Amino acid sequence: MSRRQLLNAPEDVVPEALEGLALTHPDLVTYEPGAALVLRRAFTPGKVGLVSGGGSGHEPLHAGFVGVGMLDVAVAGAVFASPNALQVHAGTTAADQGAGVLQVVKNYTGDVLNFRIAAEIAADEGLEVASVLVDDDLATAGSKVGRRGTAAVLAVEKVCGAAAEAGADLATLAALGRRVVGSSRSMALALAAGTHPGDAGPAFTLPDDLVELGVGIHGERGTGRVPFAPADELVDRLVAPLVEDLALDGSVPVVAIVNGLGGTGPLQLSVVARRVHHHLRACGVGVARSLVGSYVTSLDMEGVSVTLVRADDELLRLWDAPVRTPALTW
Amino acid sequence: MSRRQLLNAPEDVVPEALEGLALTHPDLVTYEPGAALVLRRAFTPGKVGLVSGGGSGHEPLHAGFVGVGMLDVAVAGAVFASPNALQVHAGTTAADQGAGVLQVVKNYTGDVLNFRIAAEIAADEGLEVASVLVDDDLATAGSKVGRRGTAAVLAVEKVCGAAAEAGADLATLAALGRRVVGSSRSMALALAAGTHPGDAGPAFTLPDDLVELGVGIHGERGTGRVPFAPADELVDRLVAPLVEDLALDGSVPVVAIVNGLGGTGPLQLSVVARRVHHHLRACGVGVARSLVGSYVTSLDMEGVSVTLVRADDELLRLWDAPVRTPALTW
């Protein structure tokens, strides 16, 4: 039996989904199909604009995070493909409310390139633009292009979005975003790959007795395979290297994000969250806040990522600030 | 390749997940493992208590809806099995804050029986208890036990929860809940069945060219099979009978709930939501509010349900009231 999906023509899935999102949340966002932008319904003159984006297939990222206290504009590429520089330029200038624009960019070659070109064009046109590069995926540390950007992008968007809402200027926001990135690491595993819209089967297959460790969010293979095991053992394999790399010694608490990769539901995610809490408690590390859900997905990949963020009072205050977007509200 | 899950011992999945939920949301809920209850962290003396529950496997229902403006207590059974009458009795009495308790019960034989017994015992003990039976699933209209209770339970819990928060008395809440039930119908379809924790494969299999129409949320087969088709055609098969059964003629708007059944992610759900909006617009039916996400699931079943609720000013005011629970917040 092949994997099937609720789609019309596969090439229409992104514009149709963005239109559906805007129809669902007319109070929060609008959709501009020309450049595949989702924009905040009401802008705030004098606020720094926040723009992010990238390939689709990671929903609710990024369009689901457009709204009050988070992004002003999200730019959508095709599934797993960067939006082009013209789209990103359109999104960057659309985010401008008179105080400059912060780009939040996940570390992937296409995204980095297209956001940079867009920033240069916008700067030539007189817009003040700064960028934060998110590179949290510990599995790819030491690779040629550096760590990939994965679920920590959510923390950057939330924290910088709250600070922008509170009136922070562009330089402050860029420094803050880089501080969140430097404080964040993620690790992911997959039990099954996702299926690209229109494809008959998943991007890779796994034997029943193995789990793919260190997967990214684009259907690429992980950095290794480990034996399938009870959830607690698998979760420990994610959390232990994060604790080590972030040098968590109990002196600072963390924000813990347990992120489903698309095909793993809340029952399993809560089982994972339980072990993340137990593991950190055993290390003497406090969990100041946690967020559990499917926020940065890889189509319908079955699996989970864990992101830990070293917390401090400023970061927690911004984390707690009100947010109202299609996918994240408190 | 069999379906695999992030679990420890399958028989521990429910208590571990509930513990994980409480660890994730210590500001909102507590977990009482004896009777498998999730309780609101802070009760409100003098408020009518709201209790619901049922078999697990439908997460985030019901424990994810415990909090401010919704449920006071959720009672969890094993996966797809009703909690027993003693558990429900414990949950019902725990929900008491001095003004009686409203039980919200989905129409399944076990739930109906156990909630009724629990209500009778609690009434004998002097507690004022009323019940609302939710039976929204149009696919089972005319069956011997009547329509099943599915995603409309979310609307009942949201609307009655808001009214309880605002001080409504028990009789008012019971009448309001019944009005919401009478105004709600749902239809679901599945592309693939879910997999029970510990099982190697899904509850049923489907040929590639067919879709199961009229499925419930317990892995049971649907009421018929129809050809697999583009999403828009499949969505029309769900929406058209709802429009007819609710006699929607454009004179009243609806609340539309597009609910993923567990294994279907936000990209596809937004494609479905788009068509629901288009279909209703073509019928002249306004969508006053919509909610799109996976709220009443059937493990990792791939598919979607659509619930329409005939709206009026009171219902929309209560729908819009603030809510703060693990799974639903605005």
DSSP string, B229-260: --HHHHHHHHHHHHHHHTT--SSS-EEEEEEE
Enumerate the active-site residues of B: 58, 218
Give the confidence band of A28 by pLDDT, cuts at 50, 70, 90: very high
By Cβ distance, the residue of A13, A234, A291 closest to B6 is A234
Tens of pLDDT, residue by residue over B185-227, are: 999 999 998 889 988 888 888 888 999 999 989 988 888 999 9
Q: Is A226 on the interface with B (CB under 8 A)?
A: no
Give me the architecture of the A184-316 domain, per CATH: 2-Layer Sandwich (3.30)
CATH 3.30.1180.20 fits B184-312, yes or no: yes
Instruction: Please indicate whether, in this complex, the C-beta atoms of B267 and A17 are within 8 angstroms of each other.
Output: yes
Q: What is the mean pLDDT of residues A50-75?
A: 98
Residue (of B79, B30, B128, B195) closest to A264 by Cα position: B195
Residues in chain A: 330
The superfamily CATH assigns to domain B10-182 is Dihydroxyacetone kinase; domain 1 (3.40.50.10440)
High-pLDDT (> 70) share of chain A, %: 99
Backbone angles phi and psi of A180, in degrees to 5: -65, -45
User: Rounded to whole angstroms, how far apart are CA atoms B192 and B243?
Assistant: 26
Instruction: Please indicate whether, in this complex, the C-beta atoms of A6 and B329 are within 8 angstroms of each other.
Output: no
Chain B residue nearest residue A2, CA to CA: B208
Residue (of B270, B298, B274, B129) closest to B212 by Cα position: B298
- Rg of chain A on CA atoms, in Å: 19
pLDDT value for B2? 61
The answer to whether B10-182 and B184-312 have equal CATH topology is: no
First-to-last alpha carbon distance for chain B, in angstroms, is: 40
A288 pLDDT exceeds 80? yes
Q: Is B13 on the interface with A (CB under 8 A)?
A: yes
By Cβ distance, the residue of B231, B265, B266 closest to A8 is B231
Instruction: Please indicate whether, in this complex, the C-beta atoms of B20 and A273 are within 8 angstroms of each other.
Output: yes
Q: Is A324 on the interface with B (CB under 8 A)?
A: yes
User: Rounded to whole angstroms, how far apart are CA atoms B88 and B52?
Assistant: 9
Q: Which residues pair with A217 in a beta bridge?
A: none
Instruction: Please indicate whether, in this complex, the C-beta atoms of B21 and A273 are within 8 angstroms of each other.
Output: yes
Distance in Å, alpha carbon of B155 to nearest chain A alpha carbon: 16
Chain A residue nearest residue B10, CA to CA: A230
Instruction: Please indicate whether, in this complex, the C-beta atoms of B7 and A299 are within 8 angstroms of each other.
Output: no
Q: What is the mean pLDDT of residues A98-119?
A: 98
- Counting as low any pLDDT under 70, the low residues of chain B are 1-2
Residues 6+ apart with CB under 8 A from A96: A49, A127
Instruction: Please indicate whether, in this complex, the C-beta atoms of B8 and A271 are within 8 angstroms of each other.
Output: yes
| DSSP 8-state code for residue A11 | G
Query: Strands, DSSP E only, in chain B?
Result: 29-32, 37-40, 49-56, 73-79, 101-106, 129-134, 184-192, 210-213, 224-227, 254-260, 287-293, 302-310
pLDDT value for B208? 87
The residue to which tokens 């098969």 are assigned:
B237
Preceding amide of A278 cis, omega within 30: no
Tens of pLDDT, residue by residue over A289-318, are: 999 999 999 999 999 999 999 999 999 999
Q: Is B4 on the interface with A (CB under 8 A)?
A: yes
DSSP string, A174-192: HHHHHHHHHTEEEEEEEEE
Residue (of A138, A158, A139) closest to A52 by Cα position: A158
Chain B contact set for A324 (CB, 8 A): 330
Tens of pLDDT, residue by residue over A188-238, are: 999 998 889 988 888 888 888 999 999 989 988 888 999 999 999 999 999
Determine the angle formed by the axes of helices B170-182 and B313-320, rounding to 10 degrees. Answer: 110
A1 pLDDT exceeds 60? no
Chain B residue nearest residue A4, CA to CA: B191
ipTM of the complex: 0.96
A125 pLDDT exceeds 60? yes
pLDDT value for A2? 61
Chain A contact set for B3 (CB, 8 A): 192
Q: Which two tokens stand for residue A298?
A: 């890889």
Distance in Å, alpha carbon of A330 to nearest chain B alpha carbon: 6
A4 pLDDT exceeds 90? no
pLDDT value for B4? 87
Q: Please, are residues B202 and B190 in contact by the beta-carbon 8 Å criterion?
A: no
Chain B contact set for A207 (CB, 8 A): 1
Backbone angles phi and psi of A214, in degrees to 5: 80, 30
Task: Report B:76-105 residues touching A (Cβ under 8 A).
Answer: none
> Domain spans of chain B?
10-182, 184-312
Chain B contact set for A14 (CB, 8 A): 267
Instruction: Please indicate whether, in this complex, the C-beta atoms of B265 and A6 are within 8 angstroms of each other.
Output: no
Residue (of A66, A87, A68) closest to A77 by Cα position: A87
High-pLDDT (> 90) share of chain A, %: 91
Instruction: Please indicate whether, in this complex, the C-beta atoms of A267 and B304 are within 8 angstroms of each other.
Output: no
Task: Report A:264-293 residues touching B (Cβ under 8 A).
Answer: 264-275, 277, 287, 290-292
Q: Please, are residues B20 and A283 in contact by the beta-carbon 8 Å criterion?
A: no
A251 pLDDT exceeds 60? yes
